[in-house]
Chains A and B, each alone.
Chain A
Amino acid sequence: MSKPVLRVQDLAVTFTSYSGGLLQKKERSIRAVDGISFELSAGETLGIVGESASGKSTLARAILGLIPPNRGRVMWMGENLTALDEEEMRQRRKELQIVFQDPVAALDPRMTAGDIIAEPLWTFYPNMDRVQVDERTRGMMKMVGLLPNQINRYPHEFSGGQCQRIGIARSLVLNPRLVFCDEPVSALDVSIQAQIINLLKDLQKKLGLALVFVAHDLSVVRHISDRVMVMYMGQAMEVSEKRALYRRPLHPYTNALMKSVPIPDPKLAARARRESWLKGDMPSPFNRPKGCVFHDRCPYRIKRCEADVPALRRMESGDWVSCHRAEELDLSIRNDSSDAMG
């Protein structure tokens, strides 16, 4: 593996909320991202998976400098991004881009597709030649599977999947080295999701991008990721190489997420339901459970989980997990769809 381009070290973001009147002001804080570390190389994809409020989007924003972190460092090509001033950070954004979840809301309805894609060029290279910009924009449209003759159309004339292609074209127009995809397919029809995932995979190969792909569903990130990080309440529960994770998850929460993926097969779905055990909701971030944050929903908990916070530690395989019982639990996934289909 080549040298990592991105090193995130112990990154933490805390939000503070105020309630009550002037005299009885109450201050409460939420640890949205709570000490996340990972590395990413060029041409590599990290999938980040977790439920709403697990901190995945906040993490992406903190790395891009859109939210100031409270702790930790973001090392980009050997340079600490959190120490940069605004203008310096703005310049780095040429290299670090983002694709948002809601493809329609992310596009200005009064701009044409061409203007949306070209806007970053005008922002960073205001003296660029018009013809050159036009050429580059049409080239980008072709690359993401849009027709260059759609350049003057407005977002409402495109379908959701096409709007996401416009968003991807815009994120790539500056030749970035890293692209964050924040739930890029969650708002799309299932039949279209695969198009966008396949497109991102192809583009990454072609352009040698480092990619972070955020989703709430493990089945969606499987095809595009080299490694997967599973987040819960701002913390990493597990960071594993893809093949290992989908064969034998190390953390009970990963296992629970896998069991909740819907299966398009009535018999298998019925069996999966009998085996699934994740009940209830994530606890309120104001009432973080003591010990392991997942212990109150975990069927494998022991006394120790209620008191001791498990550290994220490296297993023999090289994968990372934060569970006291990772060595003794066998959460292997049985892959026997064929016999049930009979």
Chain B
Amino acid sequence: MKPLLEVSALEVEFDTPDGVVKAVNGLNFSLDEGESLAIVGESGAGKSQLVLAIMGLLAENGRARGQAIFRGADLMQMKPQDLNSVRGKHIAMIFQDPMTSLNPYLTIEQQMTEVVIHHQGLRKDEARAKAVEMLRAVRIPDAEERIRQYPHEYSGGMRQRVMIAMGLLCQPDLLIADEPSTALDVTVQAQITQLVAELSEKTAMSVILITHDLAVVAEVCERIIVMYAGEVVESGSAEDIFYRPQHPYTRGLLESVPRLDRAEDRLHAIPGNPPNLQDLPTGCHFRDRCGEATERCRKPPPLWVAEGGRMSRCVLPMEGGRLAAGESVRADEKSTSATAGEPQE
């Protein structure tokens, strides 16, 4: 089957007063039709910038290179007006904070119908009927009444459900949700992620879910990409990542989730701080926070691969994996010379 979205060699850079900052560094992944993918990492991992780059929504000081082939066309090369017809119609996006994503001066009806009138040329009453139907699908009670209300009359969880309903109006092929439940109560978080999962099952829509909390995606995503400092450090099926995590960073993310089903005396944290992209360690970028780091980690870590897009980028061998072509565990001539120019610590 041909993938719905294929991203290759994606790079994102920002010009800042302190020089160029590389937010995403040579990223590759693909997404099949109907598949749900989670992109997981801390602040500064580049997960949001990655999708903003694909959608052509980078801030003004940002630049992106690489390819993002969506249904045969490269989103990165598209003219703004063509991209506009893809956004909203074929790819919908929901953001972290539902309050700032909705216009406080317009009713929910005005904001929802605008999308279908623009993209599908529906009449106003048709658009309204469709909007009500979508609000019902995301379980907004009394949808016909409540569609006339303003965002402030909705609770946080309901606003996020409105955002999802709005995203679904044009029956997109792909829904990108950037931390959709992070700003919400834990009780509502579960409802929102569950809703996204159900909708993707029902409609064969693909989903990309971005989060810093692995627990949130445990049940809803089939495949998971773990990012650190702009690079993928591990990827695999949900089963692989949760039951057979390979990279020390992935294990750290899993252990840092506070659990009620286990008595722990002390909570596990990943030591240190999320990566500062302007001041990354040479070699493995995670090594200054890694409990298993050795001298060898000063060199770029090798890439391990296995079937089904499973990979890990670490000096530790991957269970059931083999070294990717051209990679070697020992510090060979090539990688030594590659780092020779950089200042030694």
Chain A interface residues toward B at CB < 8 A: 51-52, 159-162, 189-195, 197-198, 216-220, 222-223, 246, 256-258, 260-266, 268-270, 273, 276, 278-282, 333, 335, 337, 341
CA distance A265 to B243 in the complex (A): 8
Question: What are 18 contact pairs spanning A and B, CB under 8 A?
Answer: A159-B43, A189-B42, A191-B274, A194-B268, A198-B266, A198-B267, A222-B258, A256-B187, A257-B187, A262-B189, A266-B238, A266-B242, A269-B218, A270-B219, A273-B190, A281-B157, A333-B260, A337-B262
Residue of B190, B253, B254, B271 most packed against chain A (CB within 10 A): B190
Question: Are B186 and A262 in contact, with the CB atoms below 8 A?
Answer: yes
Question: Are B253 and A262 in contact, with the CB atoms below 8 A?
Answer: no
Give the chain B neighbours of A258 by CB distance below 8 A: 260
Question: Are B269 and A191 in contact, with the CB atoms below 8 A?
Answer: yes
Give the chain A neighbours of B262 by CB distance below 8 A: 335, 337
Minimum distance in angstroms from B190 CB to a CB of chain A? 5
Question: Are B260 and A218 in contact, with the CB atoms below 8 A?
Answer: yes
Minimum distance in angstroms from B145 CB to a CB of chain A? 14
CA distance A245 to B260 in the complex (A): 11
B248-271 vs A, Cβ < 8 Å mask (1 yes, 0 no): 000011101111111011111111
Question: Are B158 and A223 in contact, with the CB atoms below 8 A?
Answer: no
Question: Are A262 and B190 in contact, with the CB atoms below 8 A?
Answer: yes
Determine which of A160, A222, A262, A279 lies in contact with B218 in the assembled complex, contact meaning CB atoms within 8 Å: A262
CA distance A219 to B276 in the complex (A): 29
Chain B interface residues toward A at CB < 8 A: 42-44, 141, 155-158, 185-191, 193-194, 212-216, 218-219, 238-239, 242-243, 252-254, 256-262, 264-271, 273-274, 276
Question: Are A263 and B213 in contact, with the CB atoms below 8 A?
Answer: no
Minimum distance in angstroms from B149 CB to a CB of chain A? 12
Question: Are B186 and A265 in contact, with the CB atoms below 8 A?
Answer: no
Determine which of A217, A273, A280 lies in contact with B186 in the assembled complex, contact meaning CB atoms within 8 Å: A217
Give the chain A neighbours of B256 by CB distance below 8 A: 190-191, 193-194
Closest Cβ neighbor of A185 among chain B residues: B258
Given A216-B185, A223-B266, also A192-B42 (CB < 8 A): yes
Question: Are B274 and A265 in contact, with the CB atoms below 8 A?
Answer: no
Question: Are A191 and B259 in contact, with the CB atoms below 8 A?
Answer: no
CA distance A217 to B257 in the complex (A): 12
Give the chain A neighbours of B238 by CB distance below 8 A: 266
Question: Are A281 and B155 in contact, with the CB atoms below 8 A?
Answer: yes
CA distance A220 to B214 in the complex (A): 15
CA distance A222 to B276 in the complex (A): 31
Question: Are B253 and A265 in contact, with the CB atoms below 8 A?
Answer: no
Given A194-B268, A198-B267, also A161-B187 (CB < 8 A): no
CA distance A281 to B276 in the complex (A): 39
Give the chain B neighbours of A246 by CB distance below 8 A: 260
CA distance A280 to B157 in the complex (A): 9
Knowing that A159-B43, A198-B267, A261-B259 touch, tell me 9 more A-B residue pairs with CB under 8 angstroms.
Answer: A51-B185, A159-B274, A189-B212, A191-B269, A194-B258, A198-B266, A223-B265, A262-B193, A278-B187
